[in-house]
């Protein structure tokens, strides 16, 4: 174990991978708003707000879990050979100049 192996991390996530999750989340939001609208009356306003809050609070952890697992499934680590570097684009650094002390 003289040298540590270098790896390149590549994220292959695209919008199409999470598109279905976004559509399902929008359906959940619209259903909760429709439920709130159905429950809305002069005497049941608190029930309507509680229903929206409950649906959103209960569905948010599942949405976050789906996003995070989808992201983690699309991260790839590939080992680098000795000739490859970890930089993906050249860095243009200005030439280093030595500092002069003025006394």
pLDDT one-digit tens code per residue, 17-40:
888 888 888 898 898 888 888 888
What region, left, alpha or beta, does residue 100 occupy, with left being phi > 0 and alpha being psi -120 to 50 degrees? beta
Q: How far is it, in rounded angstroms, from Cα 53 to Cα 12?
A: 34
pLDDT one-digit tens code per residue, 37-58:
888 877 778 888 888 888 888 8
pLDDT at 14: 85
Q: Say if residue 98 is exposed, middle or buried (CB neighbours under 10 Å; 0-12, 13-18, 19+).
A: exposed
pLDDT at 97: 55
pLDDT one-digit tens code per residue, 71-89:
889 898 888 877 766 565 5
Neighbours of 35 (CB within 10 A): 16
Where are the chain's structural domains? 7-79
Q: Copy the structure tokens of residue 50.
A: 């509680």
């Amino acid at each position: 174990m003289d040298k540590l192996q270098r790896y390149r991390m590549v994220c292959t996530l695209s919008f199409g991978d999470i598109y279905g999750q976004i559509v399902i989340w929008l359906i959940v939001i619209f259903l909760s708003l429709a439920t709130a609208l159905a429950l809305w009356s002069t005497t049941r306003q608190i029930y309507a707000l509680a229903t929206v809050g409950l649906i959103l609070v209960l569905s948010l952890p599942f949405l976050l879990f789906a996003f995070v697992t989808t992201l983690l499934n699309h991260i790839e680590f590939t080992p680098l050979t000795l000739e490859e570097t970890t930089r993906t684009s050249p860095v243009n650094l200005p030439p280093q100049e030595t500092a002069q002390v003025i006394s």
